[in-house]
Chain A
Amino acid sequence: MKRKEVEVLEDILGSNIRAAAELKRRFLDRGVLAVNLMSSPGAGKTTLLERLAERLSPRYRLAVIEGDIETERDAERIRAKGIPAWQIQTGGACHLEAKMIGRLFPELPAELDFLFIENVGNLVCPAGYDLGESLRCLLLSAPEGDDKPKKYPKAFRTAQCLILSKSDLLGLLPFDPERAKKEALEVNPDLEIFLVSPLTGAGLEDFIAYLLRQRQKLTGRHA
C-alpha cells in the first residue's frame, strides 16, 4: 500500500452553492424576487406572510414555500389567504437546502412577482444554506431578547434585512429595540432594520416599500 496526500481546497457546501446559483439565475430570469425568511420558531414569520398577502395581493403575484419539520399547517394558513403555497416537510432536518427548492421550482406559477420562502424556525442551521434568494430577511421578536445578534452572528451577518418583530409587545418586556439595532449593526453594518408587529400590521408600510424597491432593483437591472 502507498500513502499519498491530496490537496483538495473545496467548500464542502459546494453542491448547495452550485444549486443555489442555478436557482438564483432562474429566479432572475423570471423577474421574481425570492425572499428567504429566517428566525427562531414563533417569531411571527407566518403571521407576517399573512399580513403581506393581505397588503400585496392581488396587485402583486405572490407564492410561498413553507419549510417545517412536520405538518402542513403553515401552508394551509397561507392558502386561506388565497396565495399558492407549498409545504416542504423536512422530516427532521433543521434547515432548507437549495435542491429542495429546486425540486419545487417547476410547480411555481410562471408569472410571479414575489416568492417568499419561510425557512425552518432556527437561527443556526438555515444561515449556512443559500436558497438562491435575492433577499435574506431575518426576524427577531421581542420575547427572544435584544442580545441575540452576537449569539447567532452568521444569521445576522448573512441577512440583508432585519425585522424586529412583535413590536406590539414593547413595553411589556425588557426588550430594547435600540440595543437590538446597535448589536445587529455591529455584526452587519449594512442591515436594513424595520420595527413591525406581524399581529397588528403596525410598521408594515416601511417594510413593504423596501420589498417593492428591492423588486424594482431586480427587474430594473434585468430589463
Chain B
Amino acid sequence: MHELSLVAGLFEILEEKARQHGAAKIVSVKLRVGRLSGAVPELLVTAFDMYKKGTLAEEAVLETVTVPVRVHCRSCGAEFEVEDFVFHCSTCGATDLEILSGTDLFLDKIELETEDDPA
C-alpha cells in the first residue's frame, strides 16, 4: 500500500496549482489511473480522503478513471488493448510493442473555487 506516498505527490501538485490560480478551495480532482500504474483506485480514494483534512481540498472529491494498457506493434502496426498482461501482438505475435497508455498516474484536471474579483 503505497497510495499514501502517491497522494503526497498529488498534493504537491494540487498546492502549486491552487497557488497559481489563487484558489480558495479545490472542489474536485480527476486522476487517470493506468492498469499498469501499480496503484489501486479505491485505495487512492481512501488515501486522498485521509490526506485532504486541513488542506484546501478538504471538501474535494477524488474521481478516478481507469486507463487500459494500449500498445502499438512495431512489426505490423496493429494497435490494441493488452489483456491479461500478455505483451505479444494479437495480430502477428511479435513482441516489439510500444506502450501507448496505461502505465501512468496522471492528474487530469481539477476544479477550483476562487474568490470573486473585488468590485
Taking a contact as CB atoms under 8 Å apart, the answer to whether A127 and B1 are in contact is no
Closest residue of chain B to A6 (Cβ to Cβ) is B110
B92 at the interface (CB under 8 A from A): no
Determine whether the beta carbon of B21 is less than 8 Å from that of A4: yes
Cβ of A200 < 8 Å from any Cβ of B? Answer: no
Contact of A94 among B1, B110, B113 (CB under 8 A): B1
Count chain A residues whose beta carbon lies closer than 8 angstroms to a beta carbon of B: 35
User: Is residue A97 contacting chain B, with contact meaning CB distance below 8 A?
Assistant: yes
Q: Which of B7-15, B52-60, B72-80 contacts A (4 or more CB under 8 A)?
A: B7-15
What string of 1s and 0s marks CB contacts (under 8 Å) between B20-51 and chain A? Answer: 01001101000100001111000000000000
- Contact assessment for A128 and B39 in the assembled complex, using a CB-CB cutoff below 8 Å: yes
CB pair B36 A153 closer than 8 Å: yes
Which residue in chain B gives the minimum CB-CB distance to A188?
B87
What residue of chain A has the Cβ atom nearest to residue B35's Cβ? Answer: A153
User: Are B88 and A186 interface neighbours, CB within 8 A?
Assistant: yes
B26: min CB distance to chain A, Å: 10
A95 → chain B closest CB, angstroms: 6
Closest to A97 in B: B5
Give A13-51 as 1s and 0s: 1 = Cβ < 8 Å from B's Cβ atoms: 111100000000000000000000000000000000000
Complexed CA–CA distance, A150 and B36 (Å): 11
Chain A residue nearest in CB terms to B12:
A15
Check if B107 sits within 8 Å of A189, measured CB to CB. no
Contact yes or no, A12 B87, CB < 8 A: no
Number of cross-chain contacts by CB at 8 Å: 110
Chain A proximity of B40: nearest CB distance (Å): 9
Residue B63, interface by CB 8 Å = no
Contacts of B111 in A (CB 8 A): 3-6
Q: Quick one: CB contact mask for A129-156 with B, threshold 8 Å, 1 for yes?
A: 1000000000000000000011001100
Given contacts A128-B39, A186-B86, A189-B88, contact A9 B107 (CB under 8 A): yes
Q: How far is the CB of A31 from chain B (nearest CB, A)?
A: 30
Whether A2 and B105, one on each chain, are in contact in the complex, defined by CB atoms closer than 8 angstroms, is no
Pick the contact of A125: B2, B36, B104, B114 (CB < 8 A): B2
Question: Known interface pairs A15-B12, A94-B1. Does A157 touch B85 (Cβ–Cβ under 8 Å)?
Answer: yes
Which residues does chain A contribute within 8 Å of B36, judged by CB atoms? 153-154, 157
Closest 7 CB pairs of A and B: A189-B95, A125-B2, A153-B85, A154-B38, A128-B38, A12-B10, A186-B86
Give B residues with C-beta under 8 Å from A: 1-2, 5-7, 9-10, 12-13, 17, 21, 24-25, 27, 31, 36-39, 84-88, 95, 104-116
Known: A2-B116, A4-B21, A6-B17. 17 other contacts (CB 8 A): A1-B24, A1-B116, A3-B27, A3-B114, A4-B112, A6-B21, A6-B109, A8-B17, A8-B108, A8-B110, A10-B106, A11-B107, A128-B39, A150-B85, A154-B37, A187-B87, A189-B88
Q: Which residue numbers of A lie inside 8 Å of B, CB to CB? A: 1-16, 93-95, 97, 124-125, 127-129, 149-150, 153-154, 157, 186-190
14 pairs across A/B with beta carbons < 8 Å?
Answer: A3-B111, A3-B114, A5-B112, A10-B107, A12-B6, A12-B7, A12-B9, A12-B13, A12-B105, A14-B9, A15-B9, A95-B5, A128-B38, A188-B87
